Amino acid sequence: MSGKLKLWLAMSVAAGALGAGWPLAAQTPSPSSAQSGGQATTAAISSPSPIGDTTALAKEAQGWLIDLIRTNTTNPPGNEEVAALYIRHVLEKEGIPSELLSLSPGRSALVARLRSSAVADPSKALLLVAHMDVVGVEREKWTVDPFAAVIKDGYIYGRGTVDDKGMLVANLAAFIALKRANVHLNRDVIFLATCDEEGGGDASIKVLISKYWDKVAAGFAINEEGKVVMKNGKVQYVAVQASEKVSVNVAVVARGTSGHGSRPLKDNAVVHLSAAIAKIGTYDAPVHFTAIVRRYFEGLAAIESDDLGKWMRALDTTDRGEHAQKVISDASPLWSSLMRDSISPTMLSAGVRNNVIPAEARANLNIRLLPGDTIDVLLADLTKLVNDPQIKFEVQQNAGLAAPPSSLESDFYATISKVASAQFANAPVLPFMSTGATDSSQLRLHNVQAYGLVPFPLTEEEYQRMHGDDERIPLVSFTKGVDVLARIVAEFAATR
Ligand SMILES: [Zn+2]
């Protein structure tokens, strides 16, 4: 089969999925059959959106995604300016002016704005934000060229398809849809393509905000990290990220006497460090639940298997809580991390020669605190646990800042929930705290109600490929996600 024919077939599948609703193979009636007494779900799907049908737009967006994957923005060095110039060109064709925001040589963010009135009200504005940089690849482990945007078996392969160029393109499509449909806006909508999310350095959102806040200030934002979870061929639930854990790195330092390897010493730094890491590695910090995590488990309990659901409901009870926490922690590293400050030993270093006992041995702990917890309390517990005067903890400089969670009562959260649930066959929408860090924490620290939702339905297996090998997105999921995100944005920003 020729490449062109394959592409055409894949796109036909994508277009077909849109018309049939989601999921593809499910019994969901099409919008036309909904009129003759369909379910509430399909009535919602067929409800008019101010931007109309997005099938053609999604096909164009697929082309933008392919072009952007072929624009290598591996960070370091990033080189995001090339991607920014490409997006500027796409916007220019729509008659939308945009501006490059210079951060460092070769690295510029891009911002564009659709105005609702002559005088902007930043507290109402909606920011569509995504990063242009991607993490590196281990090329020999990929089955395709990671920067060629190969289309195969109904997927687009490439570094950044999921993190975060898919979202970048979905934001761009939603933004352009508003302009094309000449939607009367009730708030400014700002499109922002950022740099250095994966590095967090001199071109990161932190620097962008401090240099250019007047150009990006908003009351609401949508960004990466939330997810549409596919299981057994259908959407199991939609997780909207409203909070995130706080990253802190701590060095564990053991000091002892140095000496000749032929005469073992009781205070050998390597031995003391190893013993300390062995204790820390099996330690579970005390459980406590943030409001968002509590709601996440409550929602998940209703859709998980009976066995897990039962224990999720018991997590916070006095009699069975402790056992439930163990069952749920053992079932998933993610669930375990949502309940407590987590600690992963990630690096070790000691020694200069194989016959010399070193005076010092070091390890790094990558700690993710629950928002609101402090590192001092955790380190006091670890000091007691290790109980060794030769061991000291040194907090490293690169700690994240704890941001307040975004509200679960805001109009924007309500809109995301309503539209996402309707579009994904009444799937439950759960608030989510991510264990990793995103740019949203910086936005939340500036009073922005930021939410994470990558709108593409993906299986757990697909998520595993993020930052890994053969990252890819199913074409049908991409098409559906573009439509859903555009509907969410239009619903929130259009005057009714
Ligand atoms: Zn990302």
Alpha carbon 418 to its chain centroid, in Å, reads 20
pLDDT above 60: residue 21: no
CA of 141 to the centre of ligand 1 (A): 21
pLDDT attached to residue 6: 43
Q: What is the mean predicted confidence (pLDDT) over 438-458? A: 97
- 397 within a domain of the structure (yes/no): no
What spacing in Å lies between the alpha carbon of 132 and ligand 1's midpoint? Answer: 9
What is the 196 CA–ligand 1 centroid distance (Å)? 10
Within-domain flag for 390: no
Q: What is the Å distance from ligand 1's center to 198 Cα?
A: 7
Q: Is the pLDDT of residue 335 over 70?
A: yes
Distance 457 CA to ligand 1 centre (A): 16
Determine the distance separating the centroid of ligand 1 and the alpha carbon of 284, expressed in angstroms.
28
Q: How far is the CA of 438 from the centre of ligand 1 (A)?
A: 7
**Residue type, position 366, single letter:** N
**Is pLDDT above 90 for 23?**
no
Dist. CA 392–CA 389, nearest whole Å: 8
DSSP 38: -
In a domain, residue 249? The reply is: no
* Number of domains present in the structure of the chain: 1
Mean pLDDT of 13-20: 38
Average pLDDT of 42-50?
59
Q: How far is the CA of 251 from the centre of ligand 1 (A)?
A: 26
Q: How confident is the model at residue 400 (pLDDT cuts 50, 70, 90)?
A: confident
Q: Which of 19-23, 163-167, 289-293 has the lowest mean pLDDT?
A: 19-23
Domain assignment present for residue 43? The answer is no
pLDDT, averaged across the chain? 91
pLDDT for the residue 110: 98
Q: Is 129 inside a domain boundary? A: yes
For the full predicted model, state whether its pTM sits above 0.85.
Answer: yes
Average pLDDT over residues 94-122: 96
Give the pLDDT score at 1.
42
Assess if residue 231 is contained within a domain: no
Report whether 277 contacts 363 (CB < 8 A).
yes
Structure confidence at residue 398 as a pLDDT band (50, 70, 90): confident
Q: How does residue 480 score in pLDDT terms, banded at 50, 70 and 90?
A: very high
User: Whole domain around residue 151: which residue ranges?
Assistant: 48-224+454-493
Domain containing 165 — which CATH number?
3.40.630.10
- The pLDDT assigned to 216 comes to 97
Reported as a single tens digit per residue, the pLDDT across 370-390 is 999 999 999 999 999 999 999
Q: pLDDT class for 120, splitting at 50, 70, 90?
A: confident
pLDDT digits 0-9 by tens, 277-289: 999 999 999 999 9
Asked, for residue 319, whether it belongs to a domain, the answer is: no
Model pLDDT, residue 354: 97
Asked whether residue 59 is domain-assigned, the answer is yes
For ligand 1, the distance from its centroid to the CA atom of residue 441, given in whole angstroms, is 13
- For 10-36, give one letter per residue: b (16+ CB within 10 A) or e: bbeebbebbebbbbbeeebbebeebee
